[in-house]
Structure 1
């Protein structure tokens, strides 16, 4: 299996299903669903619906991380050890599965409900020179169940999975002319994801491997879209703002701000291709775990979270215009890091994949 197939194992069957459909042509009895009428798969809250219309959708996101970075430079396990860390992450995979349910109260107001599940798996290695920021080896032994007779280059893997946070939002139209559309979104993320996950010894897992934020978060965004003939474009600014100083475990994730712009071109009535550029600024963690926790690795310390990131993405939207799958929308988008500046020591951002599947009725 190639690199693309490994990143997105569910893509080949979907592609086969799309490819086996009969040739598409206009049917005067069916509406025409232009593929570029939705943004690329990595963009949420990008469109409104007609009054009384429902949309049922599913979203999948996969991100991979590898290599240790400090600031904008790749660094080494030994350097992290000399900085005082007994263990460092070597790679990580994060997956999200989300339902995307929308209902249009009117032509100018669409409601959105998005529950999700999360899973994260991380591999860590001992540096051989660190002192776990506590002056001893206790945290190192607790995290991996290791003893002093084991090699100083041992590694272990661990993971978390379960229900994530749930988003409720309203999308309201601000402008709709023949050339462009503008709408705002006011969303709230409810803290349904667990932030009390612990290791086998009773210490908290890394901050970034909890399943939610643990706080009520405000999620506003502003989205602009336009187009001419086969060409379309759009832009969105967004934020995630914690409404509480700390969660039940004693901390809160930092504010996050984002901006992205894209353009798409319709190759045929049923398919469009897109290119997108995105910017994200994420603050580090506020507060501190209020129970036993380790200080052995960068992932255990609040200052090693957040940064500034620029990503690029290539994607495609597919919408059959006739036949049994008419109106079913499939979006696929591959993402890659262009530049990054990490706070402290962190795993580097590798490639990622976004997928969306939806149907309006």
Structure 2
């Protein structure tokens, strides 16, 4: 399984530094690296009237280890709960365009189309038995097995499956509420359009896991409010946000639960082109409402609505870089590594290990 850690982030910064060698300190920096939030925070800033910003965002999250509530559980315990398939690991990646245009100093419009990809590995739970014509999640029909001996080699065999494609598209307006010498405050009113598929199926014709569909399938309201401030080389900020489905169910018969989040960060400018940041976030995600309206499995925790959501706290460290001169002047690069501090998972779920956020943007 691919994973990230602080050491790898440090190596990445060392590799990138020569690329921006021309971004030496100047007496009054033209671009403040800490004026943007860490890479894992979206909708964090407005632009001046008539200004455009074009950016690219990347996110990867890794999951492993099976949890029930806050406790780690074994495959045998999962089997005793009635599941025959056990998720082992999962990786999720997002690629997003971040396009912004300032209608005025107090209103910036934003468009964020994205693609998603998810890959999961699974195996039979300890103590489970296969029967004739049994279907394994993501693999389709296994075929009839005449004896228990024939089934033995596959009982703990692993398999993997994945989905990828266009995700949901977000468009929003960022409205300035205050801009004083001491702090800035703005609100974001966003809408997520259901452009991602929610009807992806396994090879046997059953719906894949709810969490491996590419979108929500519903029109979602995405409000947030963001505060930022700073003094000399130090900056700080906070954001509260939500994702609220505006429909009872999607075309596949379900909807994801409401999501509420809050995050706070601080950053310190080491040089005119580099700032380092730390961030703490809290997320509450409700479970799934409704039910697939077509054939689907019940052999894995990811097949059941009650095994989604929970309350989580994550911590992150990162760096923002922006050259002050040369060909790359004004190009912003943000990197952030995050890890779960604590979590209480609804039902049985894979635990989140770590993740990487990256943002690259240029305003003109």
Bucket of the pairwise TM-score, normalised by the shorter protein:
over 0.9
C-alpha distance after superposition, 1:52-107 (max 9, x if no partner): 00000000000000010000000001100010000010000000000000000000
Match 2:288 to one of 272, 285, 302: 285
**Mapped contact 1:49–1:104 kept (Cα < 8 A):** yes
Match 2:121 to one of 119, 123, 132: 123
Sort the Cα spacing of 1:27 and 1:280 in 2 relative to 1 into closer, same or farther, 3 A: same
1:82 maps to 80
Compute the TM-score of the two structures, normalised by the length of structure 1.
0.93
After superposition, the CA RMSD in angstroms is: 2.3
1:51 maps to 49
- 1:211 equivalent to 2:209? Answer no
Alignment of 1:106-185 (within 5 A): 106-130=104-128, 138-140=134-136, 143=139, 145-146=141-142, 148=145, 149-150=150-151, 151=153, 152-185=155-188
**Mapped contact 1:84–1:131 kept (Cα < 8 A):** no
Compute the TM-score of the two structures, normalised by the length of structure 2.
0.92
**Mapped contact 2:23–2:273 kept (Cα < 8 A):** no
Sort the Cα spacing of 1:193 and 1:6 in 2 relative to 1 into closer, same or farther, 3 A: farther
**Distance in 2 of aligned mates of 1:7 and 1:130:** 40
**Distance in 1 of aligned mates of 2:302 and 2:95:** 24
**Mapped contact 1:82–1:130 kept (Cα < 8 A):** no
Sort the Cα spacing of 1:136 and 1:343 in 2 relative to 1 into closer, same or farther, 3 A: farther
2:272 maps to 269
C-alpha distance after superposition, 1:212-259 (max 9, x if no partner): 000000000000000011110000000000000100000000000000
Q: Unaligned stretches of 5+ in structure 1? A: none
1:154 shift after superposition: 1.3
**Mapped contact 2:134–2:141 kept (Cα < 8 A):** no
Sort the Cα spacing of 1:234 and 1:201 in 2 relative to 1 into closer, same or farther, 3 A: same
1:228 maps to 231
**Distance in 2 of aligned mates of 1:81 and 1:285:** 23
- 1:331 equivalent to 2:334? Answer yes
Q: Unaligned stretches of 5+ in structure 2? A: none
The total of aligned residue pairs comes to: 354
1:348 maps to 351
Sort the Cα spacing of 1:136 and 1:288 in 2 relative to 1 into closer, same or farther, 3 A: farther
C-alpha distance after superposition, 1:129-174 (max 9, x if no partner): 3489xx9973438745435423311110000000000000000000
**Distance in 2 of aligned mates of 1:141 and 1:292:** 12
**Mapped contact 1:7–1:62 kept (Cα < 8 A):** no
**Mapped contact 2:6–2:337 kept (Cα < 8 A):** no
